[in-house]
Amino acid sequence: MKTNPILLKKSISITRQFFINYALLFIIILGVGTFTLVANFVYVETVYEDLDQDFLQGTYEDAKKWGMKEAFKKNELPDHAYIEIVSTDYKVVQQFNSPHKIGYNYGYKEFLKETDTYDTDLYIPEKGEEYLLLYFPAEDYFQLDDVFFFTILFFMVCLIVILYWYVKRTSVQLIQPIQKLLKGIDSISSGNYGEKIEFEANQELNQLKHTINQMAEKIGTEIALKERSENLRKQLILDISHDLKTPLTNIQGYAETLTSLTNLSRGDQKKYTDIIVSNSKRANRLIHDLFDLSHMEIDRDSVSLKEKDMAEWLRTMLTSFVEEFEEKGMEYHLDITEEPLMVTFDASKLERAITNILHNGMAYSDGYLSISLKRQGNQAVMIIEDKGIGIPADYHEKIFEPFVRMDESRNGETGGTGLGLSIAKKMIEQNGGRIELDGGYDGGCRFRVMFDSV
């Protein structure tokens, strides 16, 4: 499995991401708790302190205007609370609901004494002639229910807001990539193998994305190859039928002519017999080439590879072609390295392949062939070229496929089966080499055959 190391290096693992998220959530909760405590303190200080001063002033003014009892009722003081107006020498001048009677003298120490049961608030008017004392029972003065409700409500609101942001953040990191994965997989399962899943996330999700994309691309390629193979198979059957039909039709036609016309001259009889023999040979070559091609597809282990000097082997093999070149009036040029060029190959199989290429060159060249073999780096490179009509660019990619011809009439003119280059390519590949057509050569046709040297 191949992945993009650059992308994976920038991302972090899901385990680490979860640890970061949980740590962040813990810090957030601590922060919200701390912020709630601060808000609670501010709330208590602001609400109760401000309320005391305004409340005391209002109560004092109401007491002076309406009397102590009315001031008590108007300001809705708790039943257990009481109010007093005390002179500057600490004597009770007026009171309502107080345990102290008018004239009660606190004394300096008792006046300032704090108690556990009452919270005392003191209001001193501007003139300072007397004081207002307001006594609240502790449980009434400090409304714990209000403070508790404020604290819980504030904490919950802050927590919900923060959690909403946290969930959105987690969704971007994990949920959304998984949703895109599911959507992409659904599209790929529907046959859209060109679909690319695109997102950036954690290491594992990025790796899964790349694996799925590669799998989809591989499946798409295999399906395309399968479809192409099926189309080639159908085309192969069509081509075989076409190429066998012509010679068999000729054989049948001329054989019937010989049978039905008994008064033919010996010259005509020989002419028709030669046509029958020629077409029989064409059909036989086609069948043999098809057999060889099928045999190579099925039996891939039939090659016997041995280490040989390819330069010496090629010189020996080409000596058998010199007479044929001269008979056809071919101009030929041989350039084979003098140094030993050790390559592992099957001599008989490779000879058949090179022979097919040479026959192809002799059939379609303009009377010139060049064969060279040189060492290039750690490779043995054989080049076979001619000065014929060449191969159009449209055929460069499919020239090694069975029955591919630039001119369908060539079969009839030359007797070729259209399988020579296809057989040559498969034999060369079985020997561990590869063959390619030089698309940049415009002087005719140039084939380049390459092997790894020992």
- Name the one residue in this structure whose structure tokens are 């399962």: 189
- List alpha helices for 328-409, DSSP H: 347-364
Q: Which residues contact 403 (CB under 8 A, 6 or more apart)?
A: 235, 236, 239, 240, 243, 418, 419
- Start-to-end Cα distance in the chain: 32
Amino acid at 33: G
- List alpha helices for 194-342, DSSP H: 203-260, 266-298, 310-327
Phi-psi region of 378 (alpha: psi -120 to 50; beta: other; left: phi over 0): alpha
Least confident of 138-142, 158-162, 228-232, 345-349: 138-142
User: Which pLDDT tens digit goes with each residue over 69-122?
Assistant: 888 888 878 777 888 898 888 889 899 988 889 988 888 777 766 665 667 778
Average pLDDT for residues 213-236, to the nearest whole number? 81
Contact call for residues 412 and 250 (beta carbons, < 8 A): no
Q: How confident is the model at residue 310 (pLDDT cuts 50, 70, 90)?
A: very high
Distance CA 104, CA 175 (A): 75
Residue 413 has pLDDT above 70, yes or no: no
Q: Which residues contact 426 (CB under 8 A, 6 or more apart)?
A: 293, 296, 297
Distance CA 184, CA 201 (A): 15
Average pLDDT for residues 244-253, to the nearest whole number? 81
Question: So where are the chain's domains?
Answer: 1-201, 301-452
Q: How confident is the model at residue 211 (pLDDT cuts 50, 70, 90)?
A: confident
CATH superfamily placement of domain 301-452: Histidine kinase-like ATPase, C-terminal domain (3.30.565.10)
Q: At what angle do helices 203-260 and 14-66 cross, to 10 degrees?
A: 140
Distance CA 434, CA 446 (A): 14
Residue-level pLDDT at 223: 87
* CB neighbourhood size of 198 (10 A): 9
User: Minimal CA–CA distance to 333: which of 351, 355, 313, 318?
Assistant: 318
Residue 5 has pLDDT above 60, yes or no: no
User: Minimal CA–CA distance to 88: which of 127, 54, 57, 49?
Assistant: 127
Least confident of 12-26, 411-425, 426-440: 411-425
Distance CA 58, CA 55 (A): 5
Residue 380 has pLDDT above 90, yes or no: yes
- pLDDT averaged over every residue in the chain: 78
The verdict on pTM exceeding 0.95 is no
CA angle in degrees (0–180, nearest 5) for 326-328-331: 60
DSSP state of 175: I
User: Which pLDDT tens digit goes with each residue over 143-177?
Assistant: 555 666 777 887 888 888 887 887 777 767 677 78
User: Which pLDDT tens digit goes with each residue over 362-376?
Assistant: 887 778 899 999 999
Distance CA 335, CA 342 (A): 17
